[in-house]
Amino acid sequence: MTANVESATKAPLLAWAALPVTLFVALSIALASVPLPWSIHWSWVPSAEVDLAFHVDGLAAQMLLLIFGVGSLVFIYAAGYLAGTPEAGRVPVLLSLFMLAMVGAVTADNLLLLFVFWEMTSVLSFLLVGFSHNQEASRKSAQQALLVTGGGGLFLLAGLLLLGDLAGTLSLRELIATAPRLLDEPLLPLALGLVFIGAFTKSAQFPFHFWLPNAMTAPTPVSAYLHSATMVKLGIYLLARLDPAFGELLFWDIVLIAVGSITALWGALHTLRERDLKLILAWSTVSSLGTLTMLVGLPGPTAPLAVAAFLFSHALYKATLFFVVGNLDHGAGTRSIDQLSGMRRYMPWTAVAAALAAMSMSGLPLSVGFVAKDVMAGAKAEADLVALAGYAAVIVAAVSVAVAAMAAVHVFWGRDTCPPDADPHEAPWTMLLPPLALATLGLLFGIMPGTIDPLLAEAARAMAPALGGLSVESAYDGGPVIGALALALLFGGLIYAFWDRLHAAMERMSWIDAFGPAAWYQLKLQALGQLAAWHTRRLQHGLLDRYLFGLLAAILFAALLALSSSAANWAWPAAHGISVPLLAVGAITVAGALSALWARDRFVLLLASGLVGYGCAGLFLFAGAPDLALTQFVVETVFVVVAAAVLPGIRGAPALRYALPVRQRIDPAKLMVAIAFGAMMALLLLLAAGQPFDPALSDFFGARSVAAANGHNVVNVIIVDFRGFDTLGEIAVLAFALLAAAPLFKLARQQKRDAP
C-alpha cells in the first residue's frame, strides 16, 4: 500500500523536472549558437529609472547553467526523496519560483530589479526551509534564515541606492563603467560597507554564517539546491560582479580577504564539532563560501579564473554529497557518522557517487576539484597572501580532505556496524541518477578540463575584462598545486585519523556557543522580545484617551518643530477675506465643540458633535465648495440618526456621568495638549490662507476634466477618476467599519429579543 502511494505521488513530482530540463537545454543551445553577451531592456518606471533590464554575460551564463543544470537533477531527486511525504507538492512549486527568482537576480541589470529578485530568494528560502512547519526546529530555522538574509537585503538596498546616487545611474553595467570616477567619493566606503553586509548575510560570511547550518532542517533536495549550488552563491556572484568596479580599492581587497579567510577557517573548525553528516557538509560549505569570498578579493589576473573554477567545481561535488547524505538518510535511517560505516555493502552506487565527489572535494588528480585547486594555487601565489590567509588556506584544505574522507571512506568503506535489525537498502533510480550524473561530470571535466574552458574563461572575463586569453588549460600548472595537495592530504589524513579526539576537544570549547555570533543573534532576538513587551505595556495599553493624547502630542511636537524653523517666512491672510457668514458658522462650530465637552447626557453629546459637523459643512458652503458641503451635511445627518437609533438599544452602555465634578476630572497635561493642538491647527490654517494661491492644480484638473474623464463636475471627476484609488480605499474603510459594527447590531437585536 505504501509503495502504491509513493508511486502515485512520484509521477507528478517528476513531471516538474520538465521545466528546468527544458530551460537547461534551451540555454545550452543558445550559448552554442549565439555569442555572448545578451541584453533585453524594457522601460518600466522611467521617472524612477526602474527598467526591466536583463544582461547575460559569461558570469551570468555560468550561474544560469548551475541554476538549470543542478536544478534539473534536484527536481528529479526530489521526486524520489519526497514520494509519499504529505504536502510534498509544495516543494516543486516553491523550487520553480525560487529558480526563476535566481534567474532574475543573476541577470538583472537594474539595481532595484536586482534587489527585488534578491529578496524573493530570501522569502522563498524561508518557505522551503520551513517545509516541516509542524516542527518547531524548522520554524525557528526558517525564521532565522529570513531575518538574517532578509535583514541583510535591506542593508543591500541602502548600499545599492547610495551607489546609484553616486554614479548617477541605476544600471549595473553603467555603474561598473563609471566606477573609476567614484573611487575618491567620501561616501563610497559607506556604500560598499552596506553592500558587503547584504552579500555577507546571503553567502553566510562571518559573523552572519550561523543561519546556514541551522537551515539544514530543510529537506535534502532543498539543501542541495539552495544551500550549496545556488542561493548561497548569490552574494559571491554580486561581489564578483562588482569586483571590476572596485577591485582596485585597498579597502575592497582587505575586507574580502579578511572576512573570507576568517569565515573559511571558522567553518572548517566547526565541522569537527559535528557528528551529523549533513551538518558537517553544511559547515564545510560555509568554509568554501569563505574561500570564494577571499578569492574575489585577491588581486592578480588569475583570481577571477579561480573564482569561476571553484564556483563551478564546488557546486558539482557539494550537491553530490548532499544527495549522498539524503540517500543515507533514506536507506539507512540516520545521518550520524557514529552509526554509519561499511555502507558500501548495501548502497554500492551511492558509494561510487560519494567516492567521485570526495575526489573533487579533496582536489585529487583526474577530478574537476584538482583543476580548480590548481588555478586557485596560482591565484594565491600571484597575490602573495598574507600569513594569516595562507595559514587559514592550509587548514581549510586539510579539513576539506578530512570531510571528504569521512563522507566517502568512513561511511562506506569502514567496518560494517549496521545493527542486525536494520534494513539498509539502496535508493531508487530517481535518487541515484542525480548524484551519479554530477559525480561523473566532475570526473569528465577533470580528465578533459578543456571542455569547460569556454564557460570558465567567459565567466572570468566578465569579472576581469582585461583578462585576455587566459584559460584553465593555459593556467594549468601542476607544480604549485602538487605541493599544496601533498600538504593538504598529509594534514587532512591526520585530522581524519584523530577526528573523534578533535571532536571531543572542540566540544569542550563551550565559549564558542556562549560568545559566538549565534549567541549574539539569540541575545538580540530576546532583547527584541523584551523591547516589544515594554513597548506594549507602555504604548499598547488599550486606553483610547491615552492613545489620542500620545498621537496629538507627537503631531504637535513635529508641527511646532517644522513651524519654528520657518518662522521668518510666515505670511498672514488679509482681514478683508473673512465674511460675516464665515464668522457665524465658525461660532456655531465652536459652540458645538464646547457643548460636547460639557454635555453629560448621551443624546445631547451626539447632537453637539453633529452641530460641529454642520458648522464645518457651512464653512465649506460659504467657502465655495457646495458639493463638499452637501456631502458633509448628508454624512452628519446619517451619523446622528443612526447613532441616535442604535445607542439607546444597547443595554449596559455606560452612562455619560462623571463620578466627580467636571473640574476635578480634567487632566492638566491633556488640557494643555488639547489647547496647544487646537492653536497649532488654527495657526496652520491661517498661514495656509496667507500663502498666495497657485492656480496650476485647478487649471490642470479643469482642463482635463472633460477631455480625460468626460465629466463637467470637476470635484466628482477628481474623486472618481483622478483619485479613484483614494476613493476605493475610503470605501474599503467604510466597509470594514460596517463589518466591525455588525456584532454590535447583533448584540442590540439579541438584547431586544431577550428584554421582557
pLDDT digits (tens, 9 = 90+) for 695-749: 888 888 888 888 888 888 887 888 888 887 888 888 888 888 888 878 877 877 7
Q: Is the pLDDT of residue 120 over 90?
A: yes
| pLDDT of amino acid 657 | 46
Give the end of a domain, one of 482, 509, 536.
509
In a domain, 743, yes or no: yes
In a domain, 656, yes or no: no
What rounded mean pLDDT belongs to the chain?
85
Tell me which residue range forms the domain holding 751. 694-756
Can the peptide bond before residue 20 be classed as cis, meaning omega within 30 degrees of 0?
Answer: no
Q: End-to-end CA distance of the chain: give it in Å, rounded.
A: 64
pLDDT tens, position by position, 604-627: 777 888 888 888 888 888 877 787
Q: Within 10 Å of residue 127's Cβ, how many Cβ atoms?
A: 18
The model's pTM is: 0.79
Confidence of residue 661 (pLDDT cuts 50, 70, 90): very low
Beta carbons of 423 and 343 less than 8 angstroms apart: no
Query: What average pLDDT score do residues 581-603 get?
Result: 80
Beta carbons of 221 and 78 less than 8 angstroms apart: yes
Residues ≥6 apart with Cβ < 8 Å to 19: 75, 96, 99
SS3 135: coil
Rg of the chain taking only CA atoms, in angstroms: 34
| pLDDT of amino acid 660 | 37
Q: What percentage of the chain carries pLDDT values higher than 70? A: 90
Burial label for 457, CB within 10 Å (0-12, 13-18, 19+), is: buried
Give the end of a domain, one of 509, 531, 555.
509
Secondary structure, 3-state, 178-189: HHHHHCCCCCHH
Confidence of residue 659 (pLDDT cuts 50, 70, 90): very low
In a domain, 237, yes or no: no
Beta carbons of 642 and 737 less than 8 angstroms apart: no
Can the peptide bond before residue 35 be classed as cis, meaning omega within 30 degrees of 0?
Answer: no
Give the end of a domain, one of 509, 543, 572.
509
Tell me, rounded to whole angstroms, the distance of Cα 716 from its chain centroid: 42
Q: What percentage of the chain carries pLDDT values higher than 90? A: 36
How many H helices and E strands in the chain?
34, 2
What gap in Å lies between CA 230 and CA 149, rounded to an integer?
A: 14
Of residues 568 and 117, more confidently modeled = 117
In a domain, 148, yes or no: no
Tally of domains within the chain: 2
In a domain, 734, yes or no: yes
What gap in Å lies between CA 232 and CA 227, rounded to an integer?
A: 6
Cell 577526528 -> residue = 499
Q: Is the pLDDT of residue 279 over 50?
A: yes
Of residues 606 and 291, more confidently modeled = 291
What gap in Å lies between CA 270 and CA 318, rounded to an integer?
A: 17
